[in-house]
Chains A and B, each alone.
Chain A
Amino acid sequence: MALKATPAALALALAISLEPLAVTEDARIADGARLAADPQAGDCGICHHLPGHDARDQGTVGPPLAGVGSRLDRATLEALMTDARALRPGSIMPRYGVSATAPRVPGVLQGEALLSPSERAAIVAWLESLKAPTQATPHG
Protein backbone atom coordinates (compact mmCIF):
# COMPACT_ATOMS: atom_id res chain seq x y z
CA MET A 1 0.00 0.00 0.00
CA ALA A 2 1.45 3.35 -1.05
CA LEU A 3 1.91 6.02 1.56
CA LYS A 4 0.37 9.38 0.82
CA ALA A 5 1.33 12.57 2.52
CA THR A 6 -2.16 13.26 3.81
CA PRO A 7 -2.51 16.06 6.39
CA ALA A 8 -3.27 13.43 9.05
CA ALA A 9 -0.09 11.49 8.28
CA LEU A 10 1.96 14.69 8.37
CA ALA A 11 0.51 15.64 11.72
CA LEU A 12 1.34 12.17 13.05
CA ALA A 13 4.91 12.39 11.76
CA LEU A 14 5.32 15.77 13.38
CA ALA A 15 3.96 14.50 16.68
CA ILE A 16 6.40 11.56 16.60
CA SER A 17 9.37 13.77 15.83
CA LEU A 18 8.52 16.11 18.70
CA GLU A 19 7.84 13.28 21.14
CA PRO A 20 11.47 12.16 21.86
CA LEU A 21 12.33 15.17 23.97
CA ALA A 22 9.60 14.29 26.44
CA VAL A 23 10.11 10.54 26.09
CA THR A 24 13.87 10.73 26.61
CA GLU A 25 13.66 11.90 30.20
CA ASP A 26 10.96 9.35 31.11
CA ALA A 27 12.84 6.61 29.33
CA ARG A 28 16.03 7.60 31.10
CA ILE A 29 14.31 7.45 34.48
CA ALA A 30 12.86 4.05 33.62
CA ASP A 31 16.31 2.96 32.49
CA GLY A 32 17.79 4.19 35.75
CA ALA A 33 15.20 2.30 37.78
CA ARG A 34 16.01 -0.87 35.85
CA LEU A 35 19.79 -0.41 36.17
CA ALA A 36 19.53 0.27 39.90
CA ALA A 37 17.64 -2.97 40.48
CA ASP A 38 19.58 -5.17 38.01
CA PRO A 39 21.99 -7.50 39.90
CA GLN A 40 24.31 -7.32 36.86
CA ALA A 41 24.36 -3.50 36.94
CA GLY A 42 23.85 -1.20 39.98
CA ASP A 43 22.40 -3.90 42.24
CA CYS A 44 21.51 -1.12 44.66
CA GLY A 45 18.76 -3.26 46.22
CA ILE A 46 21.37 -5.38 47.93
CA CYS A 47 21.93 -2.50 50.38
CA HIS A 48 18.93 -0.18 49.89
CA HIS A 49 15.18 -0.49 49.75
CA LEU A 50 14.31 0.61 46.22
CA PRO A 51 10.78 2.06 46.06
CA GLY A 52 8.37 -0.28 44.30
CA HIS A 53 10.16 -3.45 45.38
CA ASP A 54 9.16 -5.84 48.14
CA ALA A 55 11.07 -4.69 51.23
CA ARG A 56 11.71 -8.30 52.27
CA ASP A 57 14.05 -8.77 49.29
CA GLN A 58 15.88 -5.49 49.80
CA GLY A 59 18.83 -4.42 51.88
CA THR A 60 18.83 -2.36 55.07
CA VAL A 61 22.54 -1.46 55.02
CA GLY A 62 21.93 1.96 53.46
CA PRO A 63 18.92 4.26 53.88
CA PRO A 64 15.72 3.52 51.89
CA LEU A 65 15.83 5.47 48.64
CA ALA A 66 12.19 6.60 48.62
CA GLY A 67 12.04 10.39 48.59
CA VAL A 68 15.79 10.78 48.08
CA GLY A 69 15.17 13.22 45.20
CA SER A 70 13.68 15.64 47.74
CA ARG A 71 16.48 15.17 50.26
CA LEU A 72 19.47 15.56 47.95
CA ASP A 73 20.07 17.82 44.96
CA ARG A 74 21.30 16.71 41.57
CA ALA A 75 24.94 17.66 42.18
CA THR A 76 25.04 15.64 45.41
CA LEU A 77 23.43 12.65 43.71
CA GLU A 78 25.96 12.86 40.88
CA ALA A 79 28.81 13.02 43.37
CA LEU A 80 27.38 10.05 45.29
CA MET A 81 27.10 7.99 42.13
CA THR A 82 30.67 8.84 41.12
CA ASP A 83 32.52 8.28 44.39
CA ALA A 84 30.32 7.86 47.45
CA ARG A 85 33.35 7.38 49.68
CA ALA A 86 34.81 10.77 48.74
CA LEU A 87 31.51 12.42 49.63
CA ARG A 88 30.84 10.35 52.76
CA PRO A 89 34.21 9.29 54.16
CA GLY A 90 34.12 5.86 55.78
CA SER A 91 31.00 4.79 53.91
CA ILE A 92 30.92 1.26 52.52
CA MET A 93 28.85 2.30 49.52
CA PRO A 94 30.89 1.20 46.49
CA ARG A 95 32.50 3.76 44.22
CA TYR A 96 30.48 3.40 41.04
CA GLY A 97 32.27 5.91 38.83
CA VAL A 98 35.96 5.25 39.50
CA SER A 99 37.97 2.07 39.07
CA ALA A 100 38.77 0.14 42.22
CA THR A 101 42.19 0.40 43.82
CA ALA A 102 41.61 -2.49 46.26
CA PRO A 103 43.51 -5.79 45.68
CA ARG A 104 42.13 -8.94 43.99
CA VAL A 105 40.07 -7.19 41.32
CA PRO A 106 39.74 -9.88 38.61
CA GLY A 107 41.78 -9.12 35.48
CA VAL A 108 38.81 -8.48 33.20
CA LEU A 109 37.40 -5.89 35.62
CA GLN A 110 40.63 -4.03 36.24
CA GLY A 111 40.48 -0.36 35.32
CA GLU A 112 36.72 -0.66 34.88
CA ALA A 113 34.28 1.46 36.87
CA LEU A 114 31.24 -0.41 38.19
CA LEU A 115 28.91 1.72 36.03
CA SER A 116 29.48 3.71 32.82
CA PRO A 117 28.81 7.48 32.69
CA SER A 118 25.52 6.94 30.81
CA GLU A 119 24.38 4.29 33.29
CA ARG A 120 25.19 6.61 36.18
CA ALA A 121 23.37 9.50 34.50
CA ALA A 122 20.27 7.32 34.13
CA ILE A 123 20.41 6.29 37.78
CA VAL A 124 20.87 9.92 38.86
CA ALA A 125 17.81 10.87 36.78
CA TRP A 126 15.85 8.13 38.49
CA LEU A 127 17.05 9.13 41.98
CA GLU A 128 16.13 12.73 41.26
CA SER A 129 12.62 11.61 40.28
CA LEU A 130 12.06 9.93 43.66
CA LYS A 131 10.27 12.82 45.29
CA ALA A 132 8.65 12.57 48.72
CA PRO A 133 6.00 11.55 49.43
CA THR A 134 6.14 8.52 47.16
CA GLN A 135 3.39 6.06 46.40
CA ALA A 136 2.97 3.44 49.11
CA THR A 137 4.74 0.18 48.43
CA PRO A 138 3.18 -3.18 49.35
CA HIS A 139 5.57 -4.04 52.16
CA GLY A 140 7.50 -0.83 52.57
Chain B
Amino acid sequence: MFPRRCARAGLCLLFLSLSAGPALSAQSGLAYLGDELRALQADPFANPGLLWVDRGEALWHQAPPGGGSACASCHGPAETLAPLVPALPRWNSESRRLEHLEGLIRQCQTDQQGTAPAPYESEALLALTARLSFAARGRALSNQVAPEATEALARGKAFFYQQRGQLELSCADCHERYAGARLRGDRVSEGMINGFPIYRLTWQTLGSRHRMFRWCNEAVRAEPYAYGAEPYLELELYLRQRGAGLPVETPAVRR
Protein backbone atom coordinates (compact mmCIF):
# COMPACT_ATOMS: atom_id res chain seq x y z
CA MET B 1 0.00 0.00 0.00
CA PHE B 2 2.58 2.59 1.16
CA PRO B 3 6.09 2.91 -0.23
CA ARG B 4 8.56 0.80 1.71
CA ARG B 5 10.54 3.86 2.79
CA CYS B 6 7.40 4.75 4.77
CA ALA B 7 8.75 2.50 7.47
CA ARG B 8 10.15 5.73 8.83
CA ALA B 9 7.32 7.41 10.65
CA GLY B 10 8.13 10.96 9.56
CA LEU B 11 8.07 10.13 5.88
CA CYS B 12 4.94 8.10 6.36
CA LEU B 13 3.14 11.11 7.74
CA LEU B 14 4.40 13.22 4.88
CA PHE B 15 3.20 10.62 2.41
CA LEU B 16 -0.19 10.49 4.04
CA SER B 17 -0.59 14.23 4.14
CA LEU B 18 0.39 14.56 0.48
CA SER B 19 -1.75 11.84 -0.98
CA ALA B 20 -4.34 10.66 1.47
CA GLY B 21 -7.22 11.28 -0.94
CA PRO B 22 -10.34 12.90 0.47
CA ALA B 23 -9.38 15.04 3.42
CA LEU B 24 -10.77 13.91 6.75
CA SER B 25 -11.83 17.46 7.36
CA ALA B 26 -11.64 20.23 4.83
CA GLN B 27 -8.87 22.80 5.07
CA SER B 28 -9.09 26.36 3.94
CA GLY B 29 -6.72 27.57 1.21
CA LEU B 30 -5.21 29.62 4.04
CA ALA B 31 -3.59 26.44 5.37
CA TYR B 32 -1.66 26.06 2.10
CA LEU B 33 -0.34 29.64 1.99
CA GLY B 34 3.20 30.77 2.71
CA ASP B 35 3.87 32.99 5.75
CA GLU B 36 3.95 36.23 3.77
CA LEU B 37 0.51 35.86 2.20
CA ARG B 38 -0.94 34.62 5.46
CA ALA B 39 0.31 37.77 7.16
CA LEU B 40 -1.02 39.92 4.32
CA GLN B 41 -4.47 38.35 4.57
CA ALA B 42 -4.55 38.87 8.34
CA ASP B 43 -3.39 42.50 8.16
CA PRO B 44 -6.43 44.81 8.55
CA PHE B 45 -4.56 47.65 6.81
CA ALA B 46 -2.54 45.89 4.13
CA ASN B 47 -5.00 43.25 2.87
CA PRO B 48 -5.77 44.66 -0.60
CA GLY B 49 -9.21 43.02 -0.66
CA LEU B 50 -10.41 45.38 2.06
CA LEU B 51 -10.43 48.16 -0.52
CA TRP B 52 -13.40 46.44 -2.14
CA VAL B 53 -15.07 45.91 1.22
CA ASP B 54 -14.87 49.68 1.80
CA ARG B 55 -16.23 50.44 -1.66
CA GLY B 56 -18.99 47.91 -1.02
CA GLU B 57 -19.95 49.64 2.20
CA ALA B 58 -20.24 52.94 0.31
CA LEU B 59 -22.33 51.35 -2.45
CA TRP B 60 -24.56 49.67 0.13
CA HIS B 61 -25.64 53.09 1.37
CA GLN B 62 -25.77 54.80 -2.00
CA ALA B 63 -29.12 55.30 -3.77
CA PRO B 64 -28.94 54.09 -7.39
CA PRO B 65 -29.33 56.66 -10.18
CA GLY B 66 -32.98 57.10 -11.20
CA GLY B 67 -34.53 57.44 -7.76
CA GLY B 68 -34.41 53.86 -6.42
CA SER B 69 -33.56 53.07 -2.83
CA ALA B 70 -30.17 52.19 -1.44
CA CYS B 71 -29.64 48.58 -0.30
CA ALA B 72 -29.34 49.87 3.28
CA SER B 73 -32.76 51.51 3.20
CA CYS B 74 -34.41 48.08 2.84
CA HIS B 75 -31.90 45.84 4.62
CA GLY B 76 -30.31 48.08 7.24
CA PRO B 77 -26.63 47.43 7.91
CA ALA B 78 -24.86 44.88 5.73
CA GLU B 79 -24.49 42.70 8.82
CA THR B 80 -28.20 41.83 8.74
CA LEU B 81 -27.47 39.59 5.72
CA ALA B 82 -24.54 37.84 7.39
CA PRO B 83 -26.49 34.63 8.20
CA LEU B 84 -27.49 34.30 4.53
CA VAL B 85 -23.97 34.22 3.09
CA PRO B 86 -22.67 30.83 4.38
CA ALA B 87 -25.88 29.13 3.21
CA LEU B 88 -25.41 30.15 -0.44
CA PRO B 89 -25.88 28.91 -3.06
CA ARG B 90 -29.37 27.80 -2.01
CA TRP B 91 -32.46 26.44 -3.69
CA ASN B 92 -35.13 28.96 -4.69
CA SER B 93 -38.42 27.07 -4.62
CA GLU B 94 -40.22 29.71 -6.72
CA SER B 95 -37.80 29.89 -9.63
CA ARG B 96 -36.86 26.25 -9.00
CA ARG B 97 -33.24 27.17 -9.50
CA LEU B 98 -30.11 27.60 -7.44
CA GLU B 99 -29.17 31.14 -6.52
CA HIS B 100 -25.87 32.50 -5.31
CA LEU B 101 -24.80 35.79 -3.76
CA GLU B 102 -23.92 37.56 -6.99
CA GLY B 103 -27.25 36.51 -8.52
CA LEU B 104 -29.22 37.75 -5.51
CA ILE B 105 -27.49 41.12 -5.60
CA ARG B 106 -28.16 41.47 -9.34
CA GLN B 107 -31.76 40.46 -8.85
CA CYS B 108 -32.21 43.14 -6.18
CA GLN B 109 -30.69 45.67 -8.55
CA THR B 110 -33.24 44.94 -11.27
CA ASP B 111 -36.33 44.09 -9.21
CA GLN B 112 -36.00 46.42 -6.22
CA GLN B 113 -33.72 49.21 -7.34
CA GLY B 114 -34.89 49.46 -10.95
CA THR B 115 -31.34 49.62 -12.32
CA ALA B 116 -29.36 47.49 -14.69
CA PRO B 117 -27.69 44.58 -12.85
CA ALA B 118 -23.98 45.06 -12.30
CA PRO B 119 -22.10 42.77 -14.71
CA TYR B 120 -20.22 39.78 -13.28
CA GLU B 121 -16.69 40.75 -12.19
CA SER B 122 -17.54 44.48 -12.35
CA GLU B 123 -16.02 46.53 -9.55
CA ALA B 124 -19.51 47.24 -8.16
CA LEU B 125 -20.57 43.58 -8.00
CA LEU B 126 -17.23 42.49 -6.52
CA ALA B 127 -17.46 45.27 -3.94
CA LEU B 128 -20.98 44.38 -2.83
CA THR B 129 -20.19 40.66 -2.77
CA ALA B 130 -17.05 41.36 -0.75
CA ARG B 131 -18.93 43.61 1.69
CA LEU B 132 -21.65 41.05 2.41
CA SER B 133 -19.22 38.13 2.66
CA PHE B 134 -17.02 40.24 4.95
CA ALA B 135 -20.04 40.71 7.20
CA ALA B 136 -20.20 36.91 7.49
CA ARG B 137 -16.54 36.52 8.47
CA GLY B 138 -16.01 33.68 10.91
CA ARG B 139 -19.38 32.07 10.24
CA ALA B 140 -19.17 28.41 9.20
CA LEU B 141 -20.16 27.35 5.67
CA SER B 142 -23.46 25.53 6.02
CA ASN B 143 -24.00 21.91 4.99
CA GLN B 144 -27.75 22.44 4.58
CA VAL B 145 -29.07 21.45 1.18
CA ALA B 146 -32.79 21.60 0.40
CA PRO B 147 -34.25 18.22 -0.61
CA GLU B 148 -35.20 19.74 -3.98
CA ALA B 149 -31.51 20.50 -4.60
CA THR B 150 -30.28 16.94 -4.07
CA GLU B 151 -29.89 16.31 -7.79
CA ALA B 152 -28.14 19.63 -8.33
CA LEU B 153 -25.74 18.70 -5.53
CA ALA B 154 -25.06 15.32 -7.15
CA ARG B 155 -24.36 17.04 -10.47
CA GLY B 156 -21.98 19.44 -8.71
CA LYS B 157 -20.14 16.51 -7.23
CA ALA B 158 -19.98 14.73 -10.59
CA PHE B 159 -18.53 17.93 -12.09
CA PHE B 160 -15.78 17.93 -9.43
CA TYR B 161 -14.73 14.39 -10.32
CA GLN B 162 -15.17 14.63 -14.11
CA GLN B 163 -11.96 14.86 -16.10
CA ARG B 164 -12.23 17.55 -18.75
CA GLY B 165 -10.33 19.51 -21.35
CA GLN B 166 -7.36 18.63 -23.50
CA LEU B 167 -5.33 17.76 -20.39
CA GLU B 168 -8.13 15.49 -19.16
CA LEU B 169 -7.89 16.54 -15.51
CA SER B 170 -10.65 16.82 -12.91
CA CYS B 171 -10.89 19.26 -10.02
CA ALA B 172 -10.28 16.27 -7.73
CA ASP B 173 -7.10 15.30 -9.60
CA CYS B 174 -5.49 18.51 -8.43
CA HIS B 175 -7.42 19.54 -5.32
CA GLU B 176 -7.95 16.15 -3.70
CA ARG B 177 -5.29 13.79 -4.95
CA TYR B 178 -2.45 16.29 -5.17
CA ALA B 179 -3.48 18.89 -2.61
CA GLY B 180 -0.29 19.96 -0.88
CA ALA B 181 1.92 19.27 -3.90
CA ARG B 182 3.22 22.12 -6.03
CA LEU B 183 2.01 22.92 -9.51
CA ARG B 184 4.85 25.03 -10.83
CA GLY B 185 5.27 27.65 -8.06
CA ASP B 186 1.79 27.23 -6.57
CA ARG B 187 1.01 24.97 -3.67
CA VAL B 188 -2.25 23.30 -4.57
CA SER B 189 -4.98 23.75 -1.98
CA GLU B 190 -8.19 21.78 -1.59
CA GLY B 191 -10.07 24.21 -3.84
CA MET B 192 -12.30 25.54 -1.08
CA ILE B 193 -14.52 28.55 -1.59
CA ASN B 194 -14.67 30.09 1.90
CA GLY B 195 -12.37 33.03 1.09
CA PHE B 196 -14.20 34.49 -1.91
CA PRO B 197 -14.11 36.92 -3.47
CA ILE B 198 -10.32 36.51 -3.20
CA TYR B 199 -7.55 38.95 -3.98
CA ARG B 200 -5.27 36.97 -6.28
CA LEU B 201 -1.77 38.26 -7.01
CA THR B 202 -1.95 36.49 -10.38
CA TRP B 203 -4.96 38.66 -11.24
CA GLN B 204 -3.86 41.81 -9.42
CA THR B 205 -7.49 42.21 -8.45
CA LEU B 206 -10.40 40.63 -6.66
CA GLY B 207 -12.15 37.69 -8.31
CA SER B 208 -15.29 35.65 -7.76
CA ARG B 209 -15.72 31.90 -7.33
CA HIS B 210 -16.90 31.57 -10.92
CA ARG B 211 -13.84 33.43 -12.17
CA MET B 212 -11.71 30.86 -10.30
CA PHE B 213 -13.70 27.96 -11.82
CA ARG B 214 -13.15 29.46 -15.26
CA TRP B 215 -9.43 29.89 -14.57
CA CYS B 216 -9.08 26.28 -13.39
CA ASN B 217 -11.05 25.05 -16.42
CA GLU B 218 -8.84 27.03 -18.79
CA ALA B 219 -5.72 25.72 -17.04
CA VAL B 220 -6.59 22.26 -18.34
CA ARG B 221 -7.63 23.67 -21.74
CA ALA B 222 -11.31 23.03 -21.11
CA GLU B 223 -14.08 25.27 -22.41
CA PRO B 224 -15.22 27.32 -19.41
CA TYR B 225 -18.88 28.10 -18.64
CA ALA B 226 -20.40 31.57 -18.45
CA TYR B 227 -20.57 33.41 -15.13
CA GLY B 228 -23.68 32.35 -13.25
CA ALA B 229 -24.20 29.27 -15.45
CA GLU B 230 -26.07 26.33 -13.92
CA PRO B 231 -23.10 23.89 -13.85
CA TYR B 232 -21.05 26.44 -11.89
CA LEU B 233 -23.91 27.06 -9.45
CA GLU B 234 -24.12 23.31 -8.88
CA LEU B 235 -20.36 23.09 -8.42
CA GLU B 236 -20.50 26.01 -5.99
CA LEU B 237 -23.24 24.25 -4.03
CA TYR B 238 -21.16 21.07 -3.86
CA LEU B 239 -18.05 22.95 -2.74
CA ARG B 240 -20.00 24.81 -0.07
CA GLN B 241 -21.18 21.46 1.27
CA ARG B 242 -17.76 19.84 0.81
CA GLY B 243 -16.25 22.66 2.85
CA ALA B 244 -19.05 22.83 5.42
CA GLY B 245 -17.73 24.09 8.73
CA LEU B 246 -14.95 26.23 7.27
CA PRO B 247 -15.18 29.84 8.41
CA VAL B 248 -15.86 32.56 5.85
CA GLU B 249 -12.58 34.45 5.55
CA THR B 250 -13.35 37.08 2.88
CA PRO B 251 -11.33 38.79 1.54
CA ALA B 252 -8.75 36.01 1.28
CA VAL B 253 -5.39 36.72 -0.33
CA ARG B 254 -3.97 34.12 -2.72
CA ARG B 255 -1.09 33.75 -5.14
A interface residue numbers (CB < 8 A to B): 45-47, 56-61, 92, 94-95, 100-107, 109, 112, 114
Nearest neighbor of A57 in chain B, beta-carbon distance:
B185
Contact B217 A104 (CB under 8 A): yes
Size class of the contact patch on chain B? 20 to 34
How far is A108 from B177 in the complex, measured between Cα atoms in Å? 30
Q: Residues 155-191 of chain B: 1 if any A CB is under 8 Å from the residue's CB, otherwise 0? A: 0000000111111110001000110011111000000
Q: Which listed residue, A57, A101, A105, touches B223 by the CB 8 Å rule?
A: A105
Which 5 pairs of residues, A with B, have the shortest CB-CB distance?
A104-B222, A102-B168, A104-B164, A60-B182, A104-B223
Main secondary structure of the interface of B (DSSP, over half): loop
Chain B residue numbers with a CB within 8 Å of A58 are: 182, 184-185
> Dominant SS at the A interface?
loop
**Which B residues touch A102, using CB under 8 A?**
162-166, 168, 222
CB distance from B68 to the nearest CB of A (A): 40
Cross-chain contact A100 with B183 (CB below 8 angstroms): no
B221 close to A (CB within 8 Å): yes
**Most chain B CB neighbours (cut-off 10 Å) among A45, A57, A105:** A105
Distance of A95 Cα from B164 Cα, bound (Å): 13
Q: Which residues from B are CB-within-8-Å of A56?
A: 185
| A58 to B181 alpha-carbon distance, docked (Å) | 11
Q: Judging by beta carbons under 8 Å apart, are A45 and B184 in contact?
A: yes
Residue numbers in B under 8 Å from A59 (CB-CB): 181-184
Chain A residue nearest to B184 in the complex (CB): A46
CA of A15 to CA of B222, assembled, Å: 50
Interface residues of B, Cβ cutoff 8 Å to A: 162-169, 173, 177-178, 181-185, 217, 221-223
Q: How far is the CB of B226 from chain A (nearest CB, A)?
A: 13
Can you name 10 extra interface pairs (CB under 8 A) apart from A58-B182, A94-B168, A109-B221?
A: A46-B184, A58-B185, A59-B184, A92-B177, A94-B169, A100-B167, A102-B164, A106-B166, A106-B223, A107-B223
- Is there an interface contact between A61 and B167, defined as CB atoms closer than 8 Å? no
Give the nearest-CB partner of A112 in chain B. B166
Chain B residues in 8 Å Cβ range of A46? 183-184
Output the nearest chain A residue to B172 by Cβ-Cβ distance. Answer: A92
- Name 29 interchain pairs, CB-CB below 8 A, sorted by A: A46-B183, A59-B182, A60-B182, A61-B181, A61-B182, A61-B183, A94-B167, A94-B168, A95-B168, A100-B165, A100-B166, A100-B167, A100-B168, A102-B162, A102-B163, A102-B164, A102-B165, A102-B222, A103-B162, A103-B222, A104-B165, A104-B217, A105-B166, A105-B222, A105-B223, A109-B166, A109-B221, A112-B166, A114-B167
